[in-house]
């Protein structure tokens, strides 16, 4: 019997050596990630629509048509009235995919978009997980499938759109601002020229400039940079946009003149304003008026109001040290005031959910600290005679509750996307066909965007992307004294 046991132990020795260095917690985390990814896949199948790279087929057909010697903006996809609507610089960027089959081009775009989203989430979540001492890989591995399951991401991937890539370009500038404020201030003197350029964030603004050259709505970020007096970043963004646009004129002058001379102003090329997937303010008003067209003066008045609210709140968020929320507010404002904001454009709800969730965690952490203090000027113990008074036992539990509920509700809204069961098309069917509740559901995403612009909370000190500049100035001033 002992001999048999010894042989079994010898046979298990290689397995034990292989598993000795495996952290059981990581095994559990890997299983959780797999379960979340599978649940996200099921959610996409349940709440998503049939996708077949519809938009990618238009882009692919347009650049293939262009590569064969025809005019880019004369292309009309077979069986539709749709053509290429992006600036000619976007056409140049997409031109290489003319050499690929449509499905292959769609898969390349999807993989690149997923990789870009993962990098963005890693950058956005890094300060949060560092504060909470969570593993970054585990947090990002959970966040990516969760983000891919909601309406803007799944529509972007399914239709072959570029919104996640543009989102990554803009958020790269946020990372650049962060690097400039931290490493650029403390380590630039000891690094080499290349590292000083990269980690010093001198390139911040180039992502916004490139995104604006591809699609015009990111230009609102340039306005935000000017309002908040981020002159260097704004100059980089403007210079990049102008440089890329002029370079495109030099390469494809005819297409550039056609686009800026006529195509840019042909709003009917993208579809009617009242179409259900248009969840901008213009689409909301058109559906409320049960009209194909948006009431122009009313839309202009409300757009100016929302623009003022969004940019002022973004500036206040930055002044309180939360650049992420500032960028998010600008992106959400652009979604609201744009004449057309299809559901795949609404990627700015992703950082909005992160901000709300982190605000809930921060408030709960603060309330726990309050519960540990007694009589130190807190809301419950500032009086000398009440030094032993503590906040109610339920206080830490409920603090941050509304922000957590808002984060979960926003995620579920964009996961379920209740606009599609109530989709209507004029003149065949009125937008009030299903009553007031149906009209509310058909406009639910647009209403959520407006509420976010007006009420998204910021987190003081969470993303102080400009504190490094102030510190650098203080060092210079003190050195001169």
Give pLDDT tens digits for 418-451.
999 999 888 889 999 999 999 999 999 999 999 9
In a domain, 437, yes or no: yes
Give the tens place of pLDDT for each residue, 186-233. 454 556 666 666 666 778 889 999 999 998 899 999 999 999 999 999
Query: Would you mind telling me the total number of residues written for the chain in this entry?
Result: 481
Which residues on adjacent β-strands are paired with residue 322? Answer: 463
Q: Please, what is the Cα angle at 373 between 372 and 374, to 5 degrees? A: 125
CA distance 342 to 283: 10
Structure letter (DSSP) for residue 373: -
Instruction: Name the token pair of 271.
Output: 């579809």
Cα distances from 333 to residues 67, 129, 349, 418, in angstroms, run 37, 28, 11, 22
In a domain, 134, yes or no: no
CA distance 137 to 125: 10
CB atoms within 10 A of CB 239: 13
- Per-residue model confidence (pLDDT) at position 384: 41
Asked if 89 contacts 138 with a C-beta cutoff of 8 angstroms, the reply is no
Where does the pLDDT of residue 343 fall: very low under 50, low under 70, confident under 90, or very high at 90 and above? very high
In a domain, 86, yes or no: no
CA distance 42 to 393: 39
In a domain, 176, yes or no: no
Mean pLDDT of the chain: 84
CA distance 287 to 282: 9
Which runs of consecutive H residues, i.e. helices, occur in 338-466?
A: 349-372, 395-398, 401-416, 435-442, 444-455
Q: Please, what is the Cα angle at 419 between 418 and 425, to 5 degrees? A: 150
- Model confidence at 476: pLDDT above 60: no
In a domain, 136, yes or no: no
Q: 7-11, 149-153, 240-244, 349-353: lowest mean pLDDT where?
A: 7-11
Instruction: Name the token pair of 398.
Output: 């409920």
Q: Which domain covers residue 376, as residue numbers?
A: 269-476
In a domain, 41, yes or no: no
Cβ-Cβ contacts under 8 Å for 49 (sequence gap 6 or more): 155, 158, 420
- Model confidence at 21: pLDDT above 80: no
Where does the pLDDT of residue 16 fall: very low under 50, low under 70, confident under 90, or very high at 90 and above? low
Cβ-Cβ contacts under 8 Å for 367 (sequence gap 6 or more): 391, 395, 396, 399, 400
- Model confidence at 125: pLDDT above 70: yes
Give the tens place of pLDDT for each residue, 263-311. 777 766 677 889 999 999 999 999 999 999 999 999 999 999 999 999 9
Cβ-Cβ contacts under 8 Å for 353 (sequence gap 6 or more): 407, 410, 411
CA distance 236 to 90: 20
CA neighbours closer than 13 Å in the CB half-sphere of residue 180? 20
For the chain, what is the domain count? 1
Give the tens place of pLDDT for each residue, 75-107. 888 888 888 888 999 999 999 998 989 899 999
In a domain, 1, yes or no: no
This prediction's pTM: 0.86
- Model confidence at 472: pLDDT above 50: no
183: three-class secondary structure by DSSP: helix
CA nearest neighbour of 162 among 86, 238, 88: 86
Which residues on adjacent β-strands are paired with residue 278? Answer: 342
In a domain, 322, yes or no: yes
């Amino acid at each position: 019997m002992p001999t048999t046991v010894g042989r079994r132990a010898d046979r298990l020795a290689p397995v034990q050596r292989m598993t000795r260095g495996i952290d059981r917690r990581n095994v559990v985390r890997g299983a959780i990630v797999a379960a979340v990814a599978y649940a996200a896949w099921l959610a996409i199948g349940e709440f998503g629509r049939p996708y077949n790279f519809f938009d990618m087929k238009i882009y692919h057909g347009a650049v293939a048509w262009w590569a064969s010697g025809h005019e880019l903006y004369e292309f009309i996809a077979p069986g539709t009235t749709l053509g290429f609507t992006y600036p000619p610089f976007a056409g140049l960027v997409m031109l290489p995919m003319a050499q690929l089959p449509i499905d292959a081009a769609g898969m390349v775009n999807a993989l690149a978009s997923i990789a870009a989203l993962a990098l963005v989430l890693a950058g956005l979540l890094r300060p949060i997980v560092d504060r909470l001492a969570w593993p970054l890989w585990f947090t990002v591995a959970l966040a990516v499938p969760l983000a891919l399951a909601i309406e803007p991401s799944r529509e972007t991937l399914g239709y072959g759109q570029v919104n996640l890539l543009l989102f990554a370009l803009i958020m790269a500038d946020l990372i650049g601002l962060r690097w400039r404020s931290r490493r650029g201030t403390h380590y630039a003197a000891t690094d080499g020229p290349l590292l000083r350029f990269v980690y010093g964030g001198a390139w911040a603004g180039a992502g916004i400039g490139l995104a604006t050259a591809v699609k015009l709505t990111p230009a609102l970020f340039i306005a935000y940079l000017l309002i908040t007096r981020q002159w260097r970043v704004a100059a980089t963004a403007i210079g990049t946009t102008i440089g890329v646009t002029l370079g495109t004129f030099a390469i494809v002058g005819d297409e550039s003149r056609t686009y800026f001379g006529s195509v840019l102003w042909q709003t009917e090329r993208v579809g009617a304003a009242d179409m259900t997937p248009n969840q901008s303010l213009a689409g909301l008003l058109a559906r409320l008026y049960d009209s194909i067209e948006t009431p122009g003066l009313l839309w202009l008045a409300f757009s100016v109001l929302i623009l003022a609210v969004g940019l002022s709140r973004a500036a206040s968020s930055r002044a309180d040290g939360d650049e992420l929320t500032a960028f998010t507010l600008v992106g959400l404002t652009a979604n609201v005031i744009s004449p057309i904001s299809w559901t795949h454009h609404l990627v700015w709800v992703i950082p909005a959910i992160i901000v709300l969730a982190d605000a809930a965690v921060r408030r709960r952490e603060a309330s726990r600290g309050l519960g540990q203090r007694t009589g130190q000027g807190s809301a419950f113990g500032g009086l000398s005679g009440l030094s032993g008074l503590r906040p109610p036992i339920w206080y830490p539990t409920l603090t941050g509750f509304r922000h957590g509920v808002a984060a979960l509700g926003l995620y579920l809204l964009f996961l379920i996307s209740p606009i599609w069961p109530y989709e209507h098309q004029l003149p065949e069917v009125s937008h009030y066909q299903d009553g007031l509740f149906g009209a509310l559901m058909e406009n639910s995403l647009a209403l959520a965007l407006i509420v976010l612009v007006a009420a998204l909370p910021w987190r003081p000190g969470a993303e102080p992307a400009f504190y490094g500049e102030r510190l650098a100035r203080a060092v210079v001033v003190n050195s001169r004294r």
